Amino acid sequence: MTTPTPGAPRTVARAWWAVLAAVVLVSVATEFVLHLVDPEDASLGVVERVVRFFSYFTVQSNLLVLAAVLPLVRDADHDGRWWRVVRLASLLGITITGIVYAVVLAPLYDPEGVNAWTNAGEHYVSPVMTVLGWLLFGPRPRITSGVVARALLWPVAWIAWILAQGTVTDWYPYDFMDVAAQGYAIALRNLAFVVLLALAFLLLFRFVDRRLAATGAPERVGDGGRGAAALR
């Protein structure tokens, strides 16, 4: 049975989420401004710069984190049918962002100045605080099979969008999905692996959510309106 989180831990949790929200907001907003005033390709118009900025998986992941944690700043036991989906999608996106950057991109990229700070916020602080905060404070249980299925729609939709706009602009944010350079067969193979990896992470989060001790207030919103019974 889930019991309400004691007052002190709830205060700590709300402070944790507030710091995370501030880091993400400042990092993404600052990088957005820098992207507009000092673009990699000065020939691009403002609209194209905006579209490309918000097409990056890292940016979308951090924005999902922001959307998921803002309600937790007000109520550490927050719940909601679609909030659960946003929360799980944010966990998925920011975990992949942190791992891929640390393992693949960090050795190749050496940001300086303000970019070093925004880069650290988006690729290090945000992933660590998001996952660690979820493990420490929950709230849980919140992840059901239905939530997993709906959360998977985001990376699939992101892939579809990148491929669609790429056919028009020939621009792809990451080399592994660059159809022009890799060819459709290799690019689609790589993207299929991404989807499978995403599903594996989602199932892992569901497993952990069901195994760790319950936190927060009793379930107020179930999967499809079925309440706490949906988690059994």
What pLDDT is recorded for position 6?
Answer: 55
The sign of the torsion formed by the CA atoms of 21, 25, 31, 32 equals: positive
What pLDDT is recorded for position 223?
Answer: 44
Query: What is d(CA 77, CA 12) in angstroms, rounded to the nearest whole number?
Result: 12
Q: Read off the pTM.
A: 0.88
Summarize pLDDT for 175-190 with one digit per residue, the tens.
Answer: 889 998 889 899 999 9
- Cα angle for residues 126, 3, 78 (degrees, 5° grid): 40
Torsion of CA 173, 178, 184, 187, to 10 degrees: -70
SS3 212: coil
What pLDDT is recorded for position 110?
Answer: 81
What pLDDT is recorded for position 5?
Answer: 52
Residue ranges in the chain modelled with pLDDT below 70: 1-8, 39, 216-232
Summarize pLDDT for 59-82 with one digit per residue, the tens.
Answer: 999 999 999 999 999 999 999 999
SS3 98: helix
Summarize pLDDT for 117-138 with one digit per residue, the tens.
Answer: 999 999 999 999 999 999 999 9
